[in-house]
Amino acid sequence: MAVVAERVEVAPRVEARGVSLRAGVLTAGFLLLALVLGLAAGPTHFGFGVDHDILWQLRAPRVALAALVGGMLAIAGASYQGVFRNPLCDPYLLGVAGGAGLGATLAIVYASTGGTTWAVPLASFAGAISAVVVTYALGRSLGAAHTTGALVLAGVTMATFTAALQTFIQQRHPDQLQNIYSWLLGGFSTASWHDVEICAPYIAVSSVVLFLHRRVLDVLSVGDDEAASLGINVARARLTIVVAATLGTAAAVSVSGLIAFVGIIVPHLIRLLVSTSYRAVIPLSLVAGAGFLVLADVLARAPWSGAEEPIGVITAFMGAPFFAVVLRTSRSVR
């Protein structure tokens, strides 16, 4: 949930090449290892062919949901960074987090007697989409020449406004604070196959759209004028990418809560270790992000912690120092 105070311009250094065989194999191996560890981790130890219900009904949906959410947050973060040419962007830039948090808070407070199994995901999804729609409309109202910077500022405004509303509601309903904060910090302790079914179609469609626009992101990274001269409809391309990233992110947070820093850590590691080209960053972020969040969830439920930690706390511990390094590096190359 990074708040970007000013636009950071970095001279594009794009290596226009796709995913190498070595990078693809290593990233796929990382995901496979994470999935195995995610299925094996837990208070109950069992061998092959034993305790099928524990494996299939409790651990498998949790691992699957973590992989879907992690992959979506990572690819959405990479896409936002490309379309806004800002290395500090994350999937929550345009108000997804604030809108989802407000929607979930309203559902927890006012729909608690009606069963929140459907109310909270639906309200958080609707809140996230609504917040981004308002943000985009506000940013576009200043004109195409100021769209990118205006969208960032509009996102900051929306985040502040929704946070104020959310705090107001929380103060009036202190009995629900624990439930609200539990959702806001994110986690997969109650994950089920129903949650997977809810978010998987949105994440799949969004990921495909972003994957198909990976070359466009490379072109956009050199600037709007240059992209337009190469035949790209910049406004339409930006809107398509933002809509796809927002739809997938909203679906992800509706079933997981707010999990920070995944959209910053994973894309930057791909750029550092593999390539700066979005032809590589987009697909590898999807796969590596899935593995990253599955491993973070394994740490969250590690037996030595005594009790399960909110996964948002785990990613924040890893992400905050990483974000500081990215911020310092970005400023040093300006």
Which CATH number goes with the domain that contains 223?
1.10.3470.10
Cα 239 to Cα 137: distance, rounded to the nearest angstrom: 11
Output the pLDDT for position 43: 61
Output the pLDDT for position 115: 47
**Element spanning 97, H or E:** helix 96-110
Residue 304 phi, psi dihedral angles, 5° rounding: -75, -15
332 C-beta neighbours (distance < 10 Å), count: 7
242 contacts: CB under 8 Å, gap ≥ 6: 80, 83, 94, 132, 136
Joined together, the tokens standing for residue 85 give: 């040419």
Rg (CA), the chain: 20
Range of the structural domain that residue 149 is part of: 21-39+64-332
3-state secondary structure 68-83: HHHHHHHHHHHHHHHH
Output the pLDDT for position 304: 60
220 contacts: CB under 8 Å, gap ≥ 6: 82, 83, 85, 227, 232, 234, 237, 238
The answer to whether residue 2 scores a pLDDT higher than 50 is: no
DSSP state of 45: -
Cα 327 to Cα 268: distance, rounded to the nearest angstrom: 11
3 state SS of 330? helix
The answer to whether residue 175 scores a pLDDT higher than 80 is: yes
Kindly state whether residue 277 falls inside one of the protein's structural domains.
yes
Mean pLDDT of the chain: 85
Cα 79 to Cα 1: distance, rounded to the nearest angstrom: 15
Output the pLDDT for position 323: 72
Residue 296 phi, psi dihedral angles, 5° rounding: -60, -35
Decide if 98 contacts 132 (C-beta within 8 A): no
311 C-beta neighbours (distance < 10 Å), count: 28
Kindly state whether residue 50 falls inside one of the protein's structural domains.
no
Q: What confidence tens digit (pLDDT) does each residue in 269-298 have?
A: 999 899 999 999 999 999 999 999 999 999
325 contacts: CB under 8 Å, gap ≥ 6: none
Cα 294 to Cα 176: distance, rounded to the nearest angstrom: 29
Least trusted range by pLDDT, from 65-69, 135-139, 328-332:
328-332
DSSP state of 6: S
Kindly state whether residue 289 falls inside one of the protein's structural domains.
yes
Q: Which amino acid is at 130?
A: S
Q: Which of 96, 76, 66 is nearest to 255 (CA)?
A: 66
Bigger pLDDT: 254 or 87? 254
Decide if 267 contacts 78 (C-beta within 8 A): yes
pLDDT confidence tier of residue 316, bands split at 50, 70 and 90: confident
pLDDT confidence tier of residue 78, bands split at 50, 70 and 90: very high
The answer to whether residue 3 scores a pLDDT higher than 80 is: no
Decide if 222 contacts 14 (C-beta within 8 A): yes
Kindly state whether residue 15 falls inside one of the protein's structural domains.
no
Kindly state whether residue 59 falls inside one of the protein's structural domains.
no
Kindly state whether residue 47 falls inside one of the protein's structural domains.
no
Output the pLDDT for position 306: 61
Output the pLDDT for position 45: 57
Output the pLDDT for position 80: 95
Bigger pLDDT: 328 or 143? 328
Joined together, the tokens standing for residue 3 give: 């708040």
Joined together, the tokens standing for residue 97 give: 């987090």
Bigger pLDDT: 260 or 8? 260
Kindly state whether residue 5 falls inside one of the protein's structural domains.
no
Q: Give CA separation, 66 vs 21, 30, 34, 252, in Å.
A: 26, 15, 11, 9
Total count of domains within the chain:
1
Q: Which amino acid is at 132?
A: V
Kindly state whether residue 267 falls inside one of the protein's structural domains.
yes
Output the pLDDT for position 144: 53
Q: What confidence tens digit (pLDDT) does each residue in 147-171 have?
A: 677 888 889 899 999 999 999 999 9
Output the pLDDT for position 19: 83
